[in-house]
Amino acid sequence: MSHAAHTAAAPHAATAPPRPAALLVEFDSPGALLTAAEQVRDAGFRRWDTHSPFPVHGIDQAMGIRRTRLPWIVFVAGVVGCTAGLALQWLTNATSAADAPPGLWTIFQGYNYVISEKPALSLPAFIPVIFELTILFSALATVIGMLAMNNLPRHAHPLLAHPRFRRVTSDRFFLVIDADDPQFDPARTRDFLGQLPAAVAVETVPEDRSPTALPRGVVIAILILVALALLPPLLVARARLSKSTEPRIQIIQDMDNQERFKAQQAGPFADRRASRPTIAGTVARGDLAGDAHLLTGRVGDDWAAAFPPTLEIDLRLLHRGRERFGVYCAPCHGYGGAGDGIVAQRALRLNTEGWVQPTSMLDATVRDRPVGHIFNTITNGIRSMPPYGDQIRPEDRWAIVAYIRALQRSQNARLDDVPPEVRADLR
């Protein structure tokens, strides 16, 4: 295709004189360039530029260039980066669907990772990411904005082909008026430039007639690179869709495979134990037995008849209790607490030997037990029910107790418990 375009252009080049792309004036000092720039500016030209081997002070005023708007672009990008950094961390870690107002907000559920006992929304920990994103966005906006405002990148320019222009990087100063300028007229503009003071030479820059299509070698190289770049995603896609008995390739171990020691096995430490004993005089976090009522369900020697005063009994706690009850208790005791959970049903059907049917929590015996007693049963287990103290936090155990109380009330409700205005519906 490029070949055809080239041959088509050739006869045209042979007959017509080359159309000027620009007019070029050469100077041998920055002062002359400044004076010339002022005159061209005052003559009202719009599409023109100056070129020099080094920055010339005052050229901006001489050319009538307004202050760049780039700082504002960078400022906005910086603010966006700052906001993005904050939002990214807030949305991914600190949001909670449960606490969100209903509607779209409930789709935001952050990881809520607690790191070093810091709150999920923890500004000092967020600042490095916010800072880096601010810098990143500003820096990219600076570079991309600068390129865009200068119409860069540009692969070729007619000026670069002009032999005189080569000295722009050593000791010559140039002023160039583009042929696109509304005031441009090949003859009159040439006269105008010729009478500029200290002009060394005025030359026509011919239009760039070099082929514009990409060379075939570059096209082939790009195609090969694209093909190679497609290989990794193809391999990944194949791995996702096929089955294999090989162990998976673990690039990041993530502590998936760890050393494991059984009882009485020699461990890696000098004393051949597999774990470290507690340091004398220390208590592990969360193991401090301070509040006996909260942690054991006892007040003095008796079962506590009331919930611990540090706990607020509200709907939130009951919801938590229902959720935990569903996880830990319902498999045996059933969702209603009658002792008819799915495990109990199956055990009965199989007639399992030694199976002790779970107690119905709705019976008077359990109903009359103080809350501390029920709490203790959950903590330490009873008969064939295992202890749950190690799996469920004390506050959650109390939440379960509160939910059991609600179940008991609901399954033994009297007409008095129903609000008067809805009693009629029951008849």
CB of 57 to another protein, least distance (A): 5
Quote the CA–CA distance of 385 and 356 in Å, as a whole number.
Answer: 9
Q: Among residues 117 and 246, whose Cβ is nearest to another protein?
A: 117
Q: DSSP string of 195-264?
A: TSTT--EEEEEE---S--SPPHHHHHHHHHHHHHHHHHHHHHHHHHHS---SPPP-SS-TT-S-----TT
CB of 382 to another protein, least distance (A): 41
CB of 285 to another protein, least distance (A): 12
Q: Among residues 117 and 425, whose Cβ is nearest to another protein?
A: 117
Q: Among residues 136 and 200, whose Cβ is nearest to another protein?
A: 136
Q: Among residues 67 and 427, whose Cβ is nearest to another protein?
A: 67
Q: CB under 8 Å to 169, separation ≥6 — which residues?
A: 53
Binds another protein (CB under 8 A): choice among 3, 19, 46, 57: 57
Q: Among residues 70 and 330, whose Cβ is nearest to another protein?
A: 70
Site string for another protein, 113-152 (x = CB under 8 A): ---xxx-----xx-xx------------------------
Quote the CA–CA distance of 322 and 325 in Å, as a whole number.
Answer: 5
Q: CB under 8 Å to 172, separation ≥6 — which residues?
A: 26, 27, 28, 53, 164, 200
CB of 55 to another protein, least distance (A): 6
Quote the CA–CA distance of 332 and 209 in Å, as a whole number.
Answer: 87
Q: Among residues 127 and 235, whose Cβ is nearest to another protein?
A: 127
CB of 127 to another protein, least distance (A): 7
CB of 118 to another protein, least distance (A): 7
Is 419 an interacting residue with respect to another protein (CB under 8 A)?
no
Binds another protein (CB under 8 A): choice among 55, 102, 233, 420: 55
Identify whether the C-beta of residue 272 lies closer than 8 Å to the C-beta of residue 266: yes
Give strand ranges (E) for 8-136: 20-27, 48-51
Quote the CA–CA distance of 374 and 303 in Å, as a whole number.
Answer: 9
How many residues in the chain?
Answer: 427
CB of 131 to another protein, least distance (A): 8
Distances in whole angstroms, Cα of residue 338 to Cα of each of 26, 83, 351, 414:
101, 53, 19, 18
Q: Among residues 37 and 371, whose Cβ is nearest to another protein?
A: 37
Quote the CA–CA distance of 307 and 323 in Å, as a whole number.
Answer: 19
Site string for another protein, 192-221 (x = CB under 8 A): ------------------------------
Restricting to residues 291-350, name those near another protein by CB under 8 A: none
Identify whether the C-beta of residue 268 lies closer than 8 Å to the C-beta of residue 274: yes
List residues near another protein by CB under 8 A.
55, 57, 116-118, 124-125, 127-128
